[in-house]
Amino acid sequence: MPRTQAESPEERRRRAGRILEILHDLYPDATCELEHATAHELLFATIMSAQTTDVNVNRVTTTLFRKYRTVRDFADADDAEFEQEIKSTGFFRNKTKSVLGAARMLLEEYDGKVPDTMEDLVRLPGVARKTANVVLGTWFGKAEGVVVDTHVRRLSNRLGLTGEEDPEKIERDLVGVFPRHEWVFAGHAIILHGRRVCDAKRPKCPECALEAVCPRNGVGL
């Protein structure tokens, strides 16, 4: 992992600016790849995406969202049956508790509607800042932070944007180097680049458009 402590804040912001320029060229329409048609579908899909791929979640929700159409449908679901329906996403018991628990809390405290504030979202079962940032940025168009998943954690360190491992500390560093109006895009674009190019074990450095600004390769601004 690159050592970023020697860089000044200005140097790190300059690096971040160049990274954003390149990411906009690569992924101009970057957004969440979880398929959804409503705020609650995005919320529940994001909860289910923990420790699995969006492709796998989309495979499950193609059927799931036809059966459970409303928040009440989820709230009324049988826990054991729901566990089997989402089993292929992994950690299905905990995810069932979170999804159905969130649905029931939405009905009880939010009139069945997904709230649009960080404070309220993180009160829901299974929702931490990552999930809340996905929902706020993707559905509500609100930039309250940067999504930090495993890809963002890996790439932000490789690209010299942070030296932290804790997601909240990484997010703090990222919101410090990216302008607020880029927070939503930055998270989604970095995730896409992590999936397509900057693999955890075999990064495709020779074909990476970010190589020229990547301290991992001994280069940078």
Lowest mean pLDDT among 48-62, 63-77, 203-217: 203-217
User: Do residues 57 and 134 share a domain?
Assistant: yes
Note the pLDDT of residue 219: 52
Note the pLDDT of residue 9: 86
How many distinct structural domains can be found in the chain? 2
Residue 195 forms part of a structural domain: yes
d(CA 221, CA 209): 14
* Domain of residue 191, residue span: 9-30+145-217
d(CA 160, CA 15): 8
Token digits of residue 86: 């989402």
d(CA 48, CA 93): 11
User: Do residues 43 and 129 share a domain?
Assistant: yes
Contacts 24+ apart (CB under 8 A), 196-204: 198/151, 198/154, 198/155, 198/158, 200/150, 200/154, 203/158
Boundary-marking domain end, from 87, 122, 138: 138
Token digits of residue 90: 């992994």
pLDDT 10s digits, 132-175:
999 999 999 999 999 999 999 999 999 999 999 999 999 999 99
d(CA 155, CA 137): 20
Catalytic one of 130, 169, 199, 201 = 130
pLDDT confidence tier of residue 8, bands split at 50, 70 and 90: confident
Active-site residue flag, 149 = yes
Note the pLDDT of residue 216: 72
Q: Indicate whether 4 pLDDT > 50.
A: no
Boundary-marking domain end, from 84, 116, 138: 138
Boundary-marking domain end, from 107, 138, 169: 138
Span between the terminal Cα atoms of the chain, in Å: 17
Active-site residue flag, 78 = no
User: Do residues 134 and 72 share a domain?
Assistant: yes
Catalytic one of 97, 149, 201, 204 = 149
pTM for this one?
A: 0.93
d(CA 37, CA 90): 23
Note the pLDDT of residue 3: 44
Work out the angle between the directed axes of helices 183-196 and 150-158 (0-180°, nearest 10): 90
